[in-house]
Chains A and B, each alone.
Chain A
Amino acid sequence: MTERIVLSMRSVGKTFGDGVQRVDALLDIDLEVAAGELVAITGRSGSGKSTLLNIAGALDTPTSGTISIAGENLVGLDGKELALLRRRHIGFVFQEFNLLPTLKAGENISLPLELDGVPLADAREQAEAALNEVGLDGKADRYGDELSGGERQRVAIARALIGQRNLLLADEPTGALDELTGESVLQLIRSRCDAGAAGLLVTHDPGWAAFADRVVRLRDGRIESITHRSATPPTLERLEL
């Protein structure tokens, strides 16, 4: 099996402040996420989950260690280069406020492509196809406030993986959704990863974390434990009632 590593962090550390004010938000983090893989980050508040996600998304830079995305080393890139790398490779899904309210669903998705110079008609066509993939066929002309919370997250997921983007970073994506809608959003993230995307999911909810191939638990900025999926797929028969 050839694993295509999309995100790689080596000995990553992040420190805020100095002297007595110094806070080590992340310490010695080694983490790789391959295409086709979903990794969950859990831990209590203040354990470093969000800092890790911000660094993985090139929104923040590590104080020590190295990080590469899609094979490109991020250390030494300037703001403009980082912005380009984000637009080409990384998609974010947050708890809320994911879509630009003045744009229609289809335009929200095609925007990164248009910014990258893809001809408008082509970009819109790709956006339509992406909407189909997340089960929102025919909703390209709806504005965010004309969609349900679950539908908005589906649009955000479609946009996160448009074009050549294949690193999906999700920060509590089900936080504003009811249980059933949340489950369908998680199943969508899971299926997008099964189809080849690399996913990193930050969640405090053990039930959502369990959708991942690996569950990484942070504690005081360090990786405390990593739980892997069973090597052999589970079967209903094995539940032995």
Chain B
Amino acid sequence: MGIREGMLALLADGPKYGYQLKREFEVATGEAWALNVGQVYTTLQRLERDGLIEAHETDDKERHSYRITDRGQDTFVEWMTQPIEPSVANRDDLSMKVLLAMTSGVVDAAVVIDVQRASTMTALQDYQRLRAETPETDLAWMLLLDRLVYQGEAELRWLDRIEDRIEQASTERETTITATRATTTAVTRASGSTND
């Protein structure tokens, strides 16, 4: 989820106490990602168990500060420089709904598409509004809003595209049926089996 890597990134900068890490993590993510103290300490314990960080100093309240180990440093750099695997959306709910609509015939695929399009457009309107209101300097929120805007746009384009495909497929099916009928009639006539 990135909390682990976030802690490593902050510790790569120098030794820190848990409460410092919580605060700095929130600042770095523009408060967009709130953490509770429990999450921080659980994460630190796991990192220490895995040998990625180690206890450094103890203050007068018996709290430990931590520092990153060489192995921790390597793990962090490796994580940062690896691409994120693209998430495969071939089994998401929306694709599933559209496919089921096309096969079951109870609800028209066009209805599924229209309902989704309206909902995604409303969300996109919200994101654009928030983007206009958020100060440019608020990089963490901007990064997130940009992403949401592009995801929304992509979904709307995809909906248009599949709508086209469904229409095209049904037109072709009709054309094929008509063509088959025409051929059958022509063949029947040519074979002289009709009496007209």
Chain A residues with CB under 8 Å of chain B are 44, 187, 190, 205-207, 209-212, 215, 217, 224-225, 227-230, 233-236, 239, 241
Contact = CB atoms under 8 A, between A and B. Distances in A.
Given A206-B157, A236-B32, A236-B134, A211 B128 contact: yes
Given A206-B124, A207-B149, A233 B114 contact: no
Given A206-B124, A225-B114, A230-B126, 13 more contacts: A207-B150, A211-B128, A211-B132, A212-B125, A215-B125, A227-B117, A227-B121, A230-B125, A233-B129, A236-B32, A236-B141, A239-B148, A241-B33
B174 interface: no
A227 B122 contact: yes
A206 B132 contact: no
Contacts of A190: 132
Contact of B153 (A187, A207, A239): A207
B121 A206 contact: yes
Q: Which of A44, A190, A206, A215 has the most CB of B within 10 A?
A: A206
A72 B124 CA distance: 35
Given A44-B160, A236-B32, A236-B141, A210 B132 contact: no
The secondary-structure label for the interface of chain B is: helix
Contacts of A224: 114
Contacts, number: 63
Interface in B111-146: 114, 117-118, 121-122, 124-130, 132, 134, 141, 144
B122 A228 contact: yes
Contacts of B128: 207, 210-211
A194 B160 CA distance: 30
30 contacts: A44-B160, A187-B132, A190-B132, A206-B124, A206-B152, A206-B157, A207-B149, A207-B150, A209-B121, A210-B124, A210-B125, A210-B127, A211-B132, A212-B125, A217-B117, A225-B117, A225-B118, A227-B118, A227-B125, A228-B122, A229-B122, A234-B126, A234-B130, A235-B130, A236-B134, A239-B144, A239-B148, A241-B32, A241-B33, A241-B144
A210 B118 contact: no
B123 to A, nearest CB: 9
A217 B32 CA distance: 34
Given A210-B127, A234-B126, A234-B129, A215 B149 contact: no
Given A236-B32, A236-B130, A206 B118 contact: no
B156 interface: yes
A44 B117 CA distance: 14
B183 to A, nearest CB: 27
Contacts of B33: 241
Contacts of A227: 117-118, 121-122, 125
B169 to A, nearest CB: 17
Contacts of A241: 32-33, 144
Contacts of A234: 126-127, 129-130
Contacts of B148: 239
B31 to A, nearest CB: 9
B129 A229 contact: yes
A190 B130 CA distance: 13
B114 to A, nearest CB: 6
A190 B125 CA distance: 12
A230 B122 CA distance: 7
B174 to A, nearest CB: 17
The 6 closest A-B pairs by CB, nearest first: A234-B126, A210-B124, A206-B156, A227-B121, A207-B153, A210-B128
A207 B147 CA distance: 12
Contacts of A233: 129
Contacts of A44: 160
Contacts of A206: 121, 124, 152-153, 156-157
B3 to A, nearest CB: 12
